[in-house]
Structure 1
Amino acid sequence: MKSFIQHTFSMLFLLFSSSVILSQDKNIQITGQLIEEATSQAIPYATVVLHDKTTKKIIAGTTSDDSGKFSISTSNSNFYLEVSFMGFETKNIQIFNISNNKADLGKIILAPDNQTLDEVVITGEVSKTVFKLDKRVFNVGADISSTGASALEVLNNVPSVNVNIEGEISLRGSSGVQMLINGKPSVLADESSNALGTITADMIESIEIITNPSAKYEASGTAGILNIILKKEEKRGWNGSVSVNTGIPDNHSVGLSLNRRTESFNLFAQLGAGYRSLPKDSEAINRDLVNDEVIFSTGTEYRDETFYNLTLGTDYHINDLNVLTLSANVAYEIEEQPSETIFSSFDANDALISSWMRNEVTDATNPKYKYELNYKKQFENNEDHTLLFSALGSFFGKDQSSEFINTTISGDDNDSDQKTVTNFQQADYTFKADYTNPISDIYTIETGAQYVINDVGNDYEVSDLTNGVFVTDEALTNNFEYNQKVLGVYGTVAYEREKWGVKAGLRVEQTNLKTLLTNTNVANEQDFTNLFPTVHSSYKVGEDFSLQAGYSKRIFRPRLWDLNPFFNIRNNFNVRVGNPDLQPEFTDSYELTSIYKIGNASLSSSLYHKYTTDMVERVSTYIDGVTITTPENIGTNSSIGFETNGKYRANNWLTITGDFNLNYFDRVGTFESQVFDFSGNQWSSRLGSTIGLPADIDVELTGNYQSGYETVQGNVTGYAHLDLGVRKKIFKGKAIVNLGIRDLFESRISEQLVSQETFETYSFAQRGRFITLGISYGFGKGEAMTYSGGRRR
């Protein structure tokens, strides 16, 4: 506060003193450059003031420029210089070497003010994980290997989180994760639209991992919640950063981030554009165990995307207690999905029946936009006493056309052509009101409501080439309409002492879901109301040891693609279809977590138990050589797991992080007279190290292992992979060059076997090695894109 008052007063005084100083003759000019002690980086916008030695009054004042340099003049010969900046010790200079009315002080080193820094929570380089009552916060600012990568790749570095080769997100080995952006649902967090690919690592400040959410959060997502917090600078004046990235396979992008903050407004903008190619090699074997016939396929498919992304927004500080935020995001993608697959069919004697090539040419355009209005009111009695209203609207569209050409290579004739046309539109609306009141130092209440509307239409048409003319296949053509409305109301009460605290809450949600196949007029409607209680507690045993415990009830509501009965015919021998009659699954989740520090190491361990009813599993059936996979509700799943993760800072140049998760499950269920009772386990681990080298070079190595596990009809193979990252600071840290290599040894795979009495289906996929090279530069008060989360004001 002292430095802030000095800064403000000196600026006011500067306006008056400058005119007087200019009129003086024989002024003494003092110059210098302000430098941080720890990093040798320049300190811009620090306060520089000249005082009269006798009266201590201010004679003149200025601030340092972008490079930390300053120049100040005075005709008073009896003065001393004072330099101050928040977070650093104030420095007084009494002795000057004056020559020709000039005094060059050179580089002035400012040391951090440890007392001030103790009051500021700094994440990033200091610690990747911060623990709170009902969540963990993972800061990704220093994750050098993810620079230039998408949000999905960043998530794959977060403890407890795994992203498979298809982009499916799991938390502690379980799917059904609810994704949020800045605490709210967003089209950018919709897995089915691949929109997370439009968020790059340099846009993310932190990720909240909520394995056992309180009643304040939406009850969907049986595995928990992942909340991506995007950066929004808070520095006064202009600041920003620009980044350029390239990679192999093609991964080229440019990004610009701008921020202008005044007393009343915070204007922010982000602009990005680029091109990326995502190749995938795949292999599949369909084996009929009744007649021993086999269909084998192998090929490569691509998803080539040109994308443009623009975000504009403003925070309007009506006064100290009221803030209005309006933001909008517009994105546009142009997709091409070429693929080439070789099919071969063999009889019981392994003799070739036929071999043919299937080529796909797919073009799509994906417009998407979202808009958001927030109003936040703080009350005078307490800054945590708040009322928040928010409204979010979003749209995602896909206009896609595909052509499939079969060309016989040998054997029986399999020449045929097909076309598909898809017109997909999704509109989502979310309205929220949240009220938080710390009614005393130990009691806090929260209450609020949320109303969510999801409205989707998927018009899908398949045509076959017959006698030179494409004829619509009515059996595969339909328009699927999906409309879901969820109303939720919640309340929580928290009691928190210095060492012990407890938080209890209840959420009520009413769901109305309607689906309709318009061509066949087949409709399905579900209407249900559920209660979702939550309890969380924490106990601080000592300064270095704490315990947390929690319980919550969760729901997984079937998504559009789980319900839509139509499918992509890229490989028409292995197809996935939805189930319009699929019911939601419910999970009771219990968790006990310990957090402790041992010297330079910090560790967190959790013991958890989940019991899920109406478990959703993908079940495969085999008809005429075609494997059809459909989600079904199959019985219950009881699991118990142990997870531990930690960080050890060996010295100032070596940091080691690790994560281990073991999950044992017991399945009970029956589907169409087939019993699916079995037990199994799966585990995953991650070990990473950050090594500081001379010349401001950092190296990061991250090894991952995902074990294999048993499924209701077969098994999934485990895999290990290694990521490498190198970072080099240049221009005194204002610019950073990053090199990242994903899957260094090309060992990350997706391999699954479905084995039943009458058939077997094997599938394999691999994306291979990805190399990225990027450079980012921060200007104004901005920093380079590896922004650590510690903000200067």
Structure 2
Amino acid sequence: MSFKTVSIYILFVFVLFQGLKGASQNIEIKGVVVDEVSKQPLSYATIVVASLDTKQAIAGAITTEDGSFSLNTKASKFYIEVSFIGFLSKTIEQFNLKNNTINLGTIELQEDASQLDEVVVKAETSRTEFKLDRRVFNVGKDISSTGMSALEVLNNVPSVSVNIEGIISLRGSSGVQILINGKPSILTGEGGALGSITADMIESIEVITNPSAKYDAEGTSGIINIIIKKEERKGLNGSLSLNSGVPDNHSIGLSLNRRSEKFNLFTQLGIGRRSNPNEGENINTDLINNTDLMNSGNEYRNEKFYNIILGTDYYIDPNNVVTLSGNFAYEVEDQPSNNLFKLFDENNSLVSQWERTEVTEATNPKWQYELQYKRDFDDHEDHDLLFSALGQSFAKDQSSLFNDVTVSGENRDAVQRTRADFSDYTYTFKLDYTKPFSEQWRLETGAQYVINDVSNDYEVENFVDGNFVTDEGLTNIFNYNQNVFGIYATGSFEGAKWGLKTGLRVEQTDLKTLLANTNEANNQNYLNLFPSVHTSYKVSDMVSLQAGYSKRIYRPRLWDLNPFFNIRNSFSIRQGNPNLMPEFTDSYELTSIFDIGKTSLNFGVYHRYTTDVIERITTSKDNVNITRPENIGANSTYGIEFNTKYSPINWLTLNADFNYNTFKRDGSFEAQVFDFKGNQWTSKLMGKFKLPADIDFEATGNYQSKYKTVQSVVSDMLFLDLGLRKKILKGRGVLNVGVRDVFASRIDERFTTQNTFLAYSKNARGRFVTFGFSYGFGKGEAMEYSGGRRHY
């Protein structure tokens, strides 16, 4: 809620309960309110005229953009109070009345240092906020996030993990929906596009493990909502950040905002380049022929990225706001790789050895544009109507050249090249209406229509007799069209101790896929109901309980459905399955929240039951492993989650996050039974130390246990991140140093054991060191500095 809205609401209450009016003459009171130090006008400061006898408010006003105000009163005995958040209030009892006018001139307010210090302490120690149906992680308070991309920031959020391939999971499940500012985004799709969002652009991250019916039902394990900063303070505000790192990781970020009476203009710019090296090793063992294929090498994903967000809020009047915004991102990719392959026969003799090199280049333009209208009604501050129309497009123009050169043994010389022209257009139309009937009762309802149109033109060519010849078996055009229409309604009651929110969402899905060259089509049309229930009970000021239920869906996406082969490694191939069906999850959870002195603690239990589970199944022949997603049975998961924060002394804060779940799988595929049981757990421990000379130090340890999948065992993982921050230039500037994966121990190892083959894979990214500087100007703050002054 903006400060302007709060001020108007306060004045409404004042007028509603104003005291007795005095003499019959109408007196005009006017003046200008400014900051005592900067002499800048303070817009939306509150002016109250109160009775000297009853101390009750008689009249009131708020200052305009230039700090001026004017109000009228008929009282004869009164005083005037001027206040603004972050400043000491000023009471005026002596003034001159001339021609029924009191001109107070320029009123200077002094900053409240004690209040500001209190805000700083609270901001520094309040890293995660708990709400009825979500947790809010404040990124600005995580000093080790300097130079990080959004993917890396997410890996520091409780209950969230990001593996070495950039796949995001919530409570151990990858069926999670990623939103930006509450909406789908071009930056949350495939291909690691979240890397174009840097940590200094993010305000907070909301983790919603059990979303209500108000939200899109997509995402079986919940929703992660990334909130992008948008400054709304008066005048011109901004922040600049410079980041550098090893391996090659450099970026510049600029955030600008200009707030006037009618307009709020905002923009964010980001440019940079990064190198993501990966050291990999694979071993494929054919148990029928007793042959082994080994390959090891280095792969790189080098990116140059450019990102701009531009938008404006237009305040038609106090109750009507129109927002127009756009986001353009452009990436230039270079993906060189070099792998050495060795083939051994049944006697473990080297049959052939060859080197496979790759040169891949790609450009990825991404657009997003949105028109939003919000109507606030006068009867209640939360009574509003919101309409938005959102358009997104993502394109990829990629070409790759693969060259196999024999080193020894059998001839393996070969040359291949691929071409991919990809386009993805998504249009989302959304209407939301909220109607509070009282302070306790509330109704929310709305509708959403999402149109998704995707096409992928893919070609593979083999070099034969001096010419490139198209491989018809691996070349095709795949079209994917999905339309989802949903309507919802929720009702809620929130009393002093007990609250309840129930809802129902109905979604109609129409999916069509087509392999253009073979005319192979797959059409699906289905209607689903998604109920939700949330309740909370406040046992005492220190103990609260929350419980929730929701039904969710995971709809197969393009790369799940696209049957094309990925030939980057011609012996470890991934492809999609156009016949996949969606998976459904019933999710239950019970959470207790304790706030005891210097300790806050969150403990919860949860259960998820998922049907038509999508699992990636690997088959092998002649040392060639092909992985393809299939619907396999059901999965039942029970888990516990524990988060706590403890500040035993002023200079030390400890945060701990622990998640354990046990699961049971029941299912079969092509006469093979995949029933099994397993468990896994993850934990994080963060220590934050306040050192002399305005220096903060932070260390975060992460552990992921070994766990089973349908066919494989994934090894455990332990790694450490460090961060150091120094405030300079009176808090407007911040210097940061971060070391991620200090011991280069974040290694992903997988062991697959089947009747006819064995497979082993290993991937490691290595250590990253980052350096950063942030500076806030105008009334802005340094992007990484969360404890500064907030005058709104």
How far apart, CA to CA, are the structure 2 residues paired with 1:404 and 1:415? Answer: 11
For residue 481 of structure 1, what is the amino acid of its counterpart?
Answer: N
In the other structure, the counterpart of 1:37 is none
Counterpart among 440, 443, 457 of residue 442 in structure 1: 440
Correspondence 1:11-410 to 2 at 5 A: 13=31, 86-90=85-89, 110-113=112-115, 124-190=123-189, 192-410=190-408
Measured in 2, the distance between the counterparts of 1:343 and 1:361 equals: 17
1:112 match: secondary structure: helix
What does residue 492 of structure 1 align with? 490
Q: How big is the shift at 1:325?
A: 0.3
Q: State whether residues 137 and 206 of structure 2, in contact with CA within 8 Å, keep that contact through their aligned partners in structure 1.
A: yes
Letter in 1 for 2:131: K
Amino acid at match of 1:385: H
Aligned to 1:518: 516
Specify which of 628, 631, 634 is matched with residue 633 of structure 1: 631
**Is the aligned partner of 1:560 residue 2:558?**
yes
CA contact (8 A) 1:729 1:735 kept: yes
Instruction: Quote how far apart the aligned CAs of 1:84 are.
Output: 6.8
1:473-512 to 2 correspondences below 5 Å: 473-512=471-510
Residues 750-792 of structure 1 show CA distances to partners (whole Å, capped at 9, x for unaligned) of 1111110110111110101111101011000110011428732
- Residues 417, 462 of structure 2: 8 Å contact kept: yes
Secondary structure in 2 matching 1:747: coil
Q: 1:542 is paired with a residue of what secondary structure?
A: coil
1:475-494 per-residue CA deviation (whole Å, 9 max, x = no partner) reads 00001111100000000110
Unaligned runs of 5+ in 1: 19-31, 35-41, 49-62, 64-81, 94-107
Pairwise CA distance, 1:113: 4.2
Give, in angstroms, the shift of residue 86 of structure 1. 2.2
Distance 1:441 1:405, change over 3 A: same
Shift of 1:738: 0.7
**How far did 1:714 drift?**
2.0
Cα 1:231–1:680 shift into 2, 3 Å: same
Any conservation in 1 of the 2:245–2:771 contact (CA below 8 Å)? yes
Q: Secondary structure at the match of 1:220?
A: coil
Task: Tell me if structure 2 keeps the 8 A contact 1:87–1:112.
Answer: no
CA contact (8 A) 1:283 1:299 kept: yes
Amino acid aligned to 2:467: V
Aligned to 2:535: 537
Q: In structure 2, what is the Cα distance between the partners aligned to 1:723 and 1:224?
A: 27
Query: 1:788 aligns to what?
Result: 786
Answer whether contact 2:731 2:785 (CA < 8 A) is retained: no
State the Cα deviation string for residues 290-320 of structure 1 (Å, max 9, x = none).
1210000001011111111111100011111
Alignment partners' CA distance in 1, 2:146 and 2:398 = 31
Displacement of 1:568: 2.2
When residues 10 and 394 of structure 1 are mapped into structure 2, their CA distance, relative to the original with a 3 A threshold, is: farther
Q: CA deviation at 1:10?
A: 14
Q: Offset of 1:111 from its aligned partner?
A: 2.9
Mapped to 2, the partners of 1:124 and 1:419 lie a distance apart of 53
In 2, Cα distance between equivalents of 1:43 and 1:719: 55
Structure 2 partner of 1:66? none
Offset at residue 11 of structure 1 (A): 13
Give me the identity figure in percent: 62
- 2:529 and 2:696 map into 1 onto residues whose CA distance is 50
TM-score (norm 1): 0.87
1:595-618 per-position Cα deviation (integer Å, ceiling 9, x unaligned): 011220101111001111101111
Do the aligned partners of residues 602 and 11 (structure 1) sit closer, same or farther apart at CA in structure 2, a change above 3 Å counting? farther
Name stretches of at least 5 consecutive residues in structure 2 with no aligned partner. Answer: 12-26, 46-62, 64-80, 93-109
Give the drift of 1:193: 3.4
Letter matched to residue 565 of structure 2: F
Could you list the per-position Cα deviations for residues 705-763 of structure 1 after superposition, in whole angstroms to 9, with x for gaps in the alignment? 01111111121111010000000111111110111111010000111111101101111
Alpha-carbon separation, structure 1, partners of 2:448 and 2:701: 41
CA 1:4/1:533 → structure 2, altered by over 3 Å: closer, same or farther? Answer: closer
**What's 1:646 paired with?**
644
Q: 1 CA distance for matches of 2:186 and 2:326?
A: 12
Give distance in 2, aligned partners of 1:776 and 1:152.
20
CA distance in 1, matches of 2:122, 2:228: 15
Pairwise CA distance, 1:112: 3.0
Tell me the CA shift for residue 13 of structure 1.
4.0
Specify the SS of the correspondent of 1:125.
helix
Contact 2:424/2:455 (8 A) holds in 1? yes
SS of the aligned residue for 2:630 comes to: strand
> Given the superposition, is the C-alpha separation of residues 254 and 163 from structure 1 closer, same or farther in structure 2, using an over 3 Å criterion?
same
Distance 1:135 1:123, change over 3 A: farther
1:24-47: per-residue Cα shift (whole Å, max 9, x none)? xxxxxxxx985xxxxxxx997679
Instruction: Quote the residue 1:76 is aligned against.
Output: none
- Give the deviation of 1:121 after TM superposition: 12
The equivalent residue for 1:701 is 699
Hey, what's the Cα distance between the residues in 1 that align with 2:233 and 2:28? 19
Separation (CA, whole Å) in 2 of partners of 1:14 and 1:582: 66
RMSD between aligned alpha carbons?
2.6
In the alignment, the residues of structure 1 paired with residue 40 and residue 242 of structure 2 have an alpha-carbon distance, to the nearest angstrom, of 25
Which residues of 2 match residues 570-609 of structure 1 at below 5 A?
Answer: 570-609=568-607
Aligned with residue 611 of structure 2, among 602, 610, 613: 613
Q: CA deviation at 1:558?
A: 0.5
* Distance change in 2, residues 1:321/1:605 (3 Å): same
1:151 deviation in Å? 0.5
1:318-341 CA-to-partner distances (Å, cap 9, x unmatched) read 111111000011111111000000
**Any conservation in 1 of the 2:213–2:503 contact (CA below 8 Å)?**
yes
Does the CA-based 8 Å contact 2:144-2:721 persist in structure 1? yes
Query: Residues 226 and 366 (structure 1 numbering): CA distance in 2 closer, same or farther, change over 3 Å?
Result: same
Amino acid at match of 1:132: K
How far does the alpha carbon of each residue in 1:254-309 deviate from its partner, in whole angstroms, 9 at most, with x for none? 11111000111100111111111111000000001112100000010111111111
| AA aligned opposite 1:513 | L
Hey, what's the Cα distance between the residues in 2 that align with 1:290 and 1:135? 51
Q: Could you tell me which residue of structure 2 aligns to residue 778 of structure 1?
A: 776
Deviation readout 1:125-160 (Å, 9 max, x if unpaired): 241111111111111111111121100111111100
Q: Deviations over 1:659-713 (max 9, x none)?
A: 0000000110011001111111000000001101111110110000011111111
Which segment drifts farther, 136-145 or 525-534? 136-145
Counterpart code for 1:468: G
SS at match of 1:382: coil
Helix, strand or coil at the partner of 1:785: coil
